[in-house]
Amino acid sequence: MADVVWVYAEIVDDKITATTLEMLAKAAEAGKAEAILLGPAPADAAQTLAKHGASKIYHCADPVYREYLTLPAAETVAGLIQKHQPAVLLCASSYAGRDLVANLSARLDCGAISDVGDFQLKDGSVEATIPALGASYQNTSTLVSPGTKLLLVRPKSFEPKVNEQPVVVEEVAAASDETLRKVHVKERVVVKREGPQLEGAKMVVAGGRGLKGEENFAMLKDLAELLGGAVGASRAAVDAGWVPYAMQIGQTGKTVSLRHLRRRAASLRHENLQDHHLDQQRSRSADLSILRLRRRRRRLQSDPPAHRRIEEAQRRVILSPKLVTHPFSLLSNYFVGSDQNVGRNRHADLLRGLQADHELQLYGTFHRYFTRLTPL
């Protein structure tokens, strides 16, 4: 059907994943959104999908989909595609999603587009936007084979939307063929991570190769704790074995987005202008600093803990950090250690200055470029 867009719903940690809901928002915008939900799911799963735009759900709760990789799901989805011929099937660019789309594209001989950041659907044909070569290019692609188009969607490409639909749930038969039970998931090992997780974190403090070693990630943990955020890492740091994969940000790791940060900055500007009626002065930098001071003062009165957090962060934030714009990563601000060019003497100067200004105590120098400070 020319305007039906299917979303393959994924469950991780007994929850519908965020990317599933993001894809539903886009599916509902592009056409008629429907979802496929296979394997054991939380009780409110169908409700959640409907709430986010799914008007129909193809459902089967059989555990075969959880216990065996790819093949049972591919068999069921291929059957559904052949029967209903949706215009598009969206799968998350996740572990399960990539395997499923790869299998289906070969099975149905239709190809697929990876790494899709956005797409348009017109008369049954798609035009997908793909950030390529580390996002240095932005290409558009289409699939020329007739029938359902398979797209692998990057997480965080769309905003999930509440868009309640009357929903029809259609039960489908489980893939029961013995030959599909080939790749057995024997055990799921959860690697314990300390502190808040990247998923859903409001703020991420990330480090990479510039940190030079595992031990220096402790600094980021301190900072993240103060800021109420989570620690992330570049692939270089993960590959070096300094931190677990679960902390990786980027194309093959977790996607983080600066969107809400920017929006916050924008709304902040807006708020300031409204609150202080400083429109006419806004272009002059001196006035801007007044603006900031005022806001601070106001905040001090209204929100003492927030103010204390700022002060605390000012004291304990890493000495001479550098915000590096990383061309590859989706996260453009990396907190790394001090600049490489800072020699020992300069470092000592900086330290003395900071100690005097902020009554800070030198806690310990565990790297030429990194020094941890704690308040006296």
Report in angstroms the alpha-carbon separations of 80 from 64, 73, 94, 362.
17, 11, 21, 65
Q: Which stretch binds another protein (CB under 8 A): 24-32, 49-57, 166-174, 246-254?
A: 246-254
CB of 339 to ligand FAD, least distance (A): 5
With CB atoms as reference, the residue minimizing the distance to ligand FAD is 208
Which residues share a beta bridge with 121? Answer: 126
Cα radius of gyration (the chain): 25
Taking the CB of residue 10, how many other CB atoms lie within 10 A of it?
23
Spatial contact of 234 and 204, defined as CB atoms under 8 Å apart:
no
* Residue 362, H or E segment: strand 360-367
Distance CA 27, CA 16 (A): 16
Q: Which residue has the tokens 């580390």?
A: 134
Site membership for another protein, residue 265 (CB under 8 A): yes
Binding of residue 326 to ligand FAD (CB under 6 A): yes
User: Closest Cα partner for 198 from 232, 228, 239?
Assistant: 232
177 binds ligand FAD per the rule CB under 6 A: no
Binding-site member from 287, 333, 365, 372 for another protein (CB under 8 A): 333
Please state, in angstroms and as integers, the Cα–Cα distance from residue 111 to each residue in 22, 33, 163, following that order: 23, 22, 31
Size of the site for ligand FAD (CB under 6 A): 24
**The two structure tokens encoding residue 350:** 């900086």
* Interface with another protein in residues 81-120 (CB under 8 A): 93-95, 98-99, 101-103, 105-107, 109-115
Contacts of ligand FAD in 351-370 (CB under 6 A):
369
Q: Is 252 in the site for another protein (CB under 8 A)?
A: yes
CA separation for the pair 40, 63 (Å, rounded): 6
User: Binder to ligand FAD among 82, 142, 340, 374 (CB under 6 A)?
Assistant: 340
CB 67 within 8 A of CB 73: no
236 near ligand FAD (CB under 6 A): yes
| C-alpha 262: how far from chain center | 15
Q: By rule CB under 8 A, what count of residues binds another protein?
A: 99
Q: Which stretch binds another protein (CB under 8 A): 30-38, 56-64, 163-171, 181-189?
A: 181-189
- Asked if 332 interacts with ligand FAD (CB under 6 A), we say no
Q: In the complex with another protein, which residue's Cβ is closer, 55 or 105?
A: 105
The single-letter DSSP state of residue 248 is B
Q: Which of residues 206-235 bind another protein (CB under 8 A)?
A: 226-229, 235
- Contacts of residue 262, defined as CB under 8 A and 6 or more positions apart, other chains included, come to none
State which of positions 241-260 bind ligand FAD (CB under 6 A). Answer: 248-253
Q: Which is nearer to ligand FAD, 82 or 142 (CB)?
A: 142
Which residue among 82, 138, 274, 374 contacts another protein (CB under 8 A)?
A: 138
Give contact residues for ligand FAD (rule: CB under 6 A). 208-210, 234-237, 248-253, 322, 324, 326, 328-329, 336-340, 369
